[in-house]
Every structure is written in structure tokens, then in C-alpha cells.
């Protein structure tokens, strides 16, 4: 069920609806009366393929405010305005949407959107905390342009990522908040090491797996920071995102963000080497500056450095990734011993494997001898399998 509250971001709920229906979800839309002043019922009806429910007095014999909540596998509210959050937190049932929220026994996700002052008001902060204490997922809004010239936290996250979060919760079959109150840092993407102002050394990582890990952690209640290195995919809804271009950038951002955190997951593909010198001008062929070779130097080993920290600087659990092309498990076990991280996710990469695809397979290795093989599956489901292992080890 897709609930739509009355805010200017209601038009973005149309894209969320389209993303869900195009991936096979059966969606019933329940807008508030105010929402229909922004987007008309025919739009929601045409895209969902169902009549739009708006009033408790429609089809009274079916008791819609009870039936909709009982039958839903997931309730997603986009946008969740300050008013809607307040009414839901206090158990109000003065329209069909809030009545349905009271009867829902399935996972509930709220995607807030409002002006910064409203999001930061103590009343809204308390209402969000109350809803989270009930087991609901309230994702933090994005920071960006709001209505008019205003800018700040309160912007609705990317509709594509809101839909992806909903699918992640559905794929897991629930919304157990086993990371509630935990501080999690995830790195994602691939670093770039500049050769000159035009060219760089890079890799094929799109950031899909790291974003899936961040998204899954948000769904499980964690406070998530994503250190993003040149993502080729949208940023995950509900996570704080810190950009990083090079391995040095990523090292600085990661060690700072992970200070005293509960979990650090190093899913980014960090360059092992960088050019010894960066040219200030473009290196042109047939010129005096044309290089015959590009000398390389080693980059810092961020995973090993993060693992070697002592408490309270070190994350309680450090998870590394190993992308291997041959002798996958042997190389993975050697890397685990070398890096001294707690867990290592090892996967084979190559044409059609690992990079730039929606699926993955891996073996999760533990420093204590733990080993779990995850057969080929979606990157969202692999992310949840990794978090299952991590959550079981958290103190």
C-alpha cells in the first residue's frame, strides 16, 4: 500500500508508484484529501491499475481502513509530512490513511519531506523517535533544494531509491530492526587516481553492492554513513553520504566517519596504486610531455589501517571485501589474515561477475574460522545475508 500525504513532494510519489509496479508489485494507493490537491486520483489509478481509496466512507461494507492494513505486505508513505508523522505517532485515525496505519501489522516505511525547520523541530524529532520505537522505518530526508529558494535537510530522497528500499524490505520478508541504534559506515564505488586533468586510473566498480549494503542497513534501523567513491548509481535513501574521489580522499573520510562506530564495511574498490606524479596539464601524444611509462606508487591500505586501530577508535566489527579473479578462496583467506579484519566477503569478478551487474555470489569468511557460502542472488539479498552475520556478532 502506498500512502501519499499532502506535501509538494506528492508528485514524486508517482515515480515511486511507477518503480514499484514496473518491478511486479501490486500497489493500492491511499492519498489524503490534501494529497489530491497536488496529484489527481486518476493519475494514481492509471499507474496502479486499482481504484484510488480516499475516504473511510467509500465502500463501507468492506471496512477499508481495516482491510487495507490487514492485507498489505508493506505500507510505504511518500511523502510523509510533519502533520502525517504527528498523527501516526499519536495513533490518530481521522482519515483512511492514518486508520490503515493503525491496523497494519506489516512493515511500515515513512519517507519524510518537509522544510528544514519542521524536520528539526523538537516535536517532529520526538514523533520520529516514537514511530521508530514502534518498529517503523523512518528514513532520514535528503539534504538539498526545497520549495522555493530554501535548501537543507528535508528533501524527499530519490524516488528510485525509496522504491529500492521498499523492495529490499519485501525481499527480506520483514523489517526486523536488529541494527536499531547502531552506527554503521559503508564505503562504496571505485576510487579514481588522476594522471592529468583529463585522465585517471580507475576500476569497474559501480557501487551497486555498497549501496545495497547501506540500503539494507537503513532498513534494519541503523544510522548509516556512506562514503561514496564515484557512484554510477543513485545514493541510498536515508543514509548520510560523504563523497570521495581518490583513495586518499576515501581514507580520510572513512577513518573520520568510522571513529568509534559499531560497524565498518569496506565495500568500495580502492585503488592499490596511484601515479607517482600528477601532471598539471594534459599529457599529449607527439609532444615533449608524452610519457613512455607512468610510474606508480602504493596507496595507503585503508582496510588494514582501520582494522589495526584500537578501541575506542576502531569499529567494533570491520568487514572487508576481496574481489578476486583466480584462486578465489585461497587468496581471500590470505587477505583476511593479512588485513586482520573481522569478516571478509570474497567474490570472483570478471566478465558478467561482480562488477556492473545486479547479482552477486560470495563466501563470507570470519577471522575465527567462520565460513558461509552465498549462492548467486541479488545484491540486495547478499547485503542482508552479510548483515545477518554481522548483527549476530554485535555485542
Q: Which residues are catalytic?
A: 203
Cα angle 360-161-240, degrees, rounded to a multiple of 5: 95
Give the C-alpha separation, 205 to 138, whole Å.
29
Report residue 134 CA to chain centroid gap. 21
Residue 176, φ and ψ in degrees, nearest 5 = -65, 125
What does the block give as the cell for 132? 521508530
Residue 353 CB: number of other CB atoms within 10 A? 16
Closest CA relative to residue 218, chosen from 254, 188, 186: 186
Give the C-alpha separation, 207 to 213, whole Å.
10
Give the C-alpha separation, 185 to 65, whole Å.
39
Residue 31 CB: number of other CB atoms within 10 A? 27
Amino acid at each position: 500500500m502506498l500512502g501519499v500525504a499532502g506535501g509538494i513532494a506528492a508528485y514524486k510519489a508517482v515515480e515511486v508508484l511507477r518503480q514499484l509496479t514496473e518491478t511486479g508489485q501490486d500497489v493500492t494507493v491511499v492519498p489524503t484529501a490534501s494529497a489530491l490537491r497536488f496529484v489527481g486520483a486518476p493519475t494514481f489509478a492509471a499507474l496502479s491499475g486499482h481504484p484510488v481509496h480516499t475516504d473511510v466512507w467509500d465502500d463501507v461494507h468492506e471496512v477499508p481502513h481495516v482491510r487495507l492494513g490487514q492485507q498489505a505486505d508493506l505500507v510505504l508513505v511518500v511523502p510523509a509530512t510533519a502533520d502525517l508523522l504527528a498523527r501516526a505517532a499519536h495513533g490518530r485515525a481521522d482519515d483512511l490513511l492514518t486508520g490503515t496505519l493503525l491496523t497494519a501489522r506489516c512493515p511500515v516505511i515513512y519517507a519524510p519531506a518537509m522544510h528544514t525547520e519542521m524536520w528539526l523541530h523538537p516535536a517532529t524529532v520526538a514523533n520520529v523517535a516514537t514511530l521508530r520505537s514502534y518498529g517503523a522505518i523512518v528514513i532520514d530526508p535528503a539534504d538539498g533544494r526545497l520549495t522555493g529558494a530554501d535548501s537543507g535537510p528535508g528533501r524527499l530522497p530519490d524516488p528510485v531509491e525509496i522504491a529500492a528500499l521498499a523492495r529490499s524490505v519485501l525481499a527480506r520478508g520483514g523489517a526486523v530492526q536488529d541494527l536499531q541504534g547502531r552506527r554503521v559506515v559503508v564505503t562504496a564505488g571505485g576510487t579514481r587516481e588522476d594522471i592529468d586533468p583529463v585522465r585517471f586510473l580507475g576500476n569497474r566498480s559501480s557501487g551497486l553492492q555498497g549501496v545495497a549494503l547501506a540500503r539494507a542497513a537503513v532498513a534494519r534501523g541503523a544510522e548509516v554513513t556512506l562514503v561514496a567513491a564515484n557512484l554510477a548509481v543513485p545514493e541510498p535513501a536515508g543514509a548520510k553520504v560523504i563523497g570521495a574521489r581518490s583513495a586518499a580522499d576515501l581514507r580520510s573520510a572513512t577513518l573520520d566517519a568510522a571513529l568509534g562506530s559499531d560497524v565498518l564495511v569496506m565495500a568500495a574498490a580502492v585503488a592499490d596504486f596511484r601515479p607517482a606524479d600528477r601532471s598539471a596539464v594534459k599529457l599529449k601524444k607527439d609532444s615533449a610531455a608524452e610519457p613512455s611509462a607512468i610510474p606508480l606508487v602504493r596507496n595507503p591500505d585503508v582496510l588494514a589501517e582501520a582494522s589495526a586501530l584500537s578501541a575506542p577508535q576502531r569499529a567494533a566489527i570491520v568487514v572487508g571485501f576481496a574481489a578476486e579473479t583466480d584462486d578465489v578462496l585461497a587468496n581471500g583467506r590470505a587477505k583476511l589474515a593479512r588485513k586482520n579484519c573481522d569478516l571478509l566477503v570474497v567474490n570472483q569478478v570478471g566478465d558478467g561477475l561482480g562488477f556492473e551487474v545486479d547479482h552477486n555470489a560470495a563466501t563470507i569468511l570470519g577471522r575465527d574460522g567462520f565460513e558461509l557460502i552465498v549462492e548467486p542472488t541479488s545484491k540486495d539479498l547478499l547485503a542482508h545475508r552479510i548483515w545477518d552475520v554481522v548483527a549476530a556478532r554485535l555485542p
